[in-house]
Amino acid sequence: MKPIVVDINIKTSKEQIWNAITNVNEMRCWFFDNIPNFNAEIGFKTWFVVKNEERVFYHLWEVVQVENFKSIKVAWTYPDYVKDSFNVTFYIEELENDFINFKVKAEGIEKFEQFSIPEFTRKSCIEGWTYFTNRLKKYIEQ
């Protein structure tokens, strides 16, 4: 299945974006406010809970690839549903005039199609990543 790709241009530096996506205190400001910890190093794992209406989603993350100030890939698992993970990669690309293109690529979400859960649909995933990229832009620009 074709991966989901959402991107946005932000007037900032690659360092500022990198810090926002790898520093747990900054991640809590625009991403999930209950991330307990995070390190941009291969093999790092963390987990936390996200509640949505009557459903509880345990998020288990493992960092699987890091290219400082360019990209970071996280294997993202919902262990209550599928033991296998899907990958989310954040990309940072410098553009002209002090802009950065920030891109999110989610691969493997089709593993969750067997569940009739609205949060696991392709449409919901696109909407979710659009929401988070816009929150990141707002956070960076404030």
More reliable by pLDDT, 113 or 35: 35
- The share of the chain scoring above pLDDT 70, in percent, equals 100
Which run of H or of E encompasses 102? strand 99-107
Q: Which domains does the chain have, with CATH numbers?
A: 4-141 (3.30.530.20)
Q: What are phi and psi of 104, to 5 degrees?
A: -115, 130
- What span, in angstroms and rounded, lies between the C-alpha atoms of 78 and 52? 14
| Predicted pLDDT of residue 53 | 77
For residue 113, pLDDT beyond 80: no
Which comes out higher in pLDDT, residue 81 or 2?
A: 2
Least Cα distance to 80 among 110, 111, 113, 58 occurs for: 58
| Confidence at 64, pLDDT banded by 50, 70, 90 | very high
Q: Rounded to an integer, what distance in angstroms lies between the CA atom of residue 11 and that of residue 22?
A: 19
Average pLDDT over residues 88-102: 97
Question: Could you say which DSSP state residue 110 is in?
Answer: G
What is residue 18's three-state secondary structure? helix
Task: Give the mean pLDDT of 71-90.
Answer: 89
Q: How many CB atoms lie within 10 A of CB 33?
A: 9
* Least confident range of 35-39, 111-115, 137-141: 111-115
pLDDT at 120 over 90: no
pTM of the predicted model, to two decimals? 0.93
Q: How high is the pLDDT of residue 65? A: 98
Residue type for 53, please?
E
User: Distance between CA atoms of 17 and 1, rounded to whole angstroms?
Assistant: 29
Q: Average the pLDDT over each of 53-62, 99-108, 125-134 and give the range with the smallest value.
A: 53-62
- Rounded to whole angstroms, the Cα distance separating 37 from 35 reads 6
